[in-house]
Amino acid sequence: MKLLREKIQEEGIVLSDGVLKVDSFLNHQIDPILMKEIGSEFARLFKDEGITKIVTIESSGISPAVFAGLELGVKVIFARKRKSLTLTNNLLVSTVYSFTKQEENSIAVSSQFLNTSDRVLIIDDFLANGEAAKGLIEIVKKSGASVQGIGIVIEKSFQKGAGELKDLGYRVESLARIESLTEGKVQFVADQAEVVKA
Amino acid sequence: MKLLREKIQEEGIVLSDGVLKVDSFLNHQIDPILMKEIGSEFARLFKDEGITKIVTIESSGISPAVFAGLELGVKVIFARKRKSLTLTNNLLVSTVYSFTKQEENSIAVSSQFLNTSDRVLIIDDFLANGEAAKGLIEIVKKSGASVQGIGIVIEKSFQKGAGELKDLGYRVESLARIESLTEGKVQFVADQAEVVKA
């Protein structure tokens, strides 16, 4: 998605070889026009999958997910992150390890909002090692619903998440795919790179 | 806002005299069509205030805020909630006490996203005792920007927040105003009640 890649080049800050900060339009400040475009693109990509629900995770997944939900005409559920869970009645729970924050979180969705006939699109802001996506997949499976696809805003293709999810048979659509963040520069995966240079 | 009040009557669950659960369309599952309508209504109400930024708080404030931001043509910043803050460089910070959860959280916004010329609309999902709104006001003031208004999805008018904020001189616009939650029923403030009965 050209608009997104340009935004990443213009405003993204490479903090290290592994960390890209996009606080100016996605993770802290939000650009609603870009989010609408991103939502439309997800809707276009997954329009033939018979999606009935979108599942995302708080907080940065919510904006792209609600715009996709609006276009696909489906509701959006955001999984809640918690340090620990005591009360798990009627909750579908998974555990997610964050490499960036080096901490483990429980994520949870109320079981009443997903059922066996749901065809779910998972949306998230970043895909790196795939921990969050795998946690969301686990939650959807526990509900008996099916995962029809995974929509990612920014994929760090040099980390293992995308490959693993594809190996598991999931359709993963990432709107920007980053090959490397070395030398303080964002390098996109080759098939997208020439569009950025143009 | 009629559509919102109807949705509250249909799907809201009164957990106690003080607590209304709206997990099916606002706080956990999100109804994107309703959120778009809510965003449009905020945009209509505050269109003459020269708004340049919207500030909200994760997670449930984000959906109504991004739709309002899209219509007003401004960016949205969501304050992050944290148990504690060690690194506060370049952060505008406030402390918010949650009566519901009986815990104190730090909330923070990066100082780079607000400046003295900004005219801010604060948006949040609920207004009860006003703790979150006052925390957001404090953050905006620390940046030197001005608060032009406060847009609330659901106001619990029987708690002190709305009155206090108005006494402080702020324009507060709440799309649904609840007078009481006694006997397991949602009673709206009188000037709106007849619309619901109609």
pLDDT digits (tens, 9 = 90+) for B129-177: 999 999 999 999 999 999 999 999 999 999 999 999 999 999 999 999 9
pLDDT at B198: 43
A21 touches chain B (CB under 8 A): no
> Which chain A residues are Cβ-neighbours of B61 within 8 angstroms?
none
3-state secondary structure of B103: strand
Which pair of structure tokens corresponds to residue B23? 């997990």
> Which chain A residues are Cβ-neighbours of B143 within 8 angstroms?
none
pLDDT-derived band at B100 (thresholds 50, 70, 90) equals: confident
pLDDT digit string, tens, across residues B107-142: 999 999 999 999 999 999 999 999 999 999 999 999
pLDDT at B45: 98
Beta carbons of A70 and B113 less than 8 Å apart: no
For residue A67, which of A156, A175, A147, A139 has the smallest C-alpha distance? A175
- What's the complex ipTM? 0.94
pLDDT at B24: 97
Q: Name the helix (H) or strand (E) containing A89.
A: none
pLDDT at B197: 47
pLDDT at B166: 98
Question: Which residue is closest to B58 within chain A, CA to CA?
Answer: A59
pLDDT at B192: 58
Question: Which residue is closest to B83 within chain A, CA to CA?
Answer: A83
B196 touches chain A (CB under 8 A): no
3-state secondary structure of B197: helix
B29 touches chain A (CB under 8 A): yes
pLDDT at A190: 83
Beta carbons of B28 and A67 less than 8 Å apart: no
B93 touches chain A (CB under 8 A): no
Work out the percent of chain B whose per-residue pLDDT is above 70.
94
Cite the DSSP H helix spans in B27-145: 32-45, 62-72, 131-143
Query: Residue B194: pLDDT above 80?
Result: no
Rg for chain B, CA atoms, rounded: 16
pLDDT-derived band at B98 (thresholds 50, 70, 90) equals: confident
> Which chain B residues are Cβ-neighbours of A80 within 8 angstroms?
28, 59
pLDDT along chain A (198 residues), means of 10: 97 95 97 98 98 97 98 98 74 90 91 97 97 98 98 98 98 98 95 52
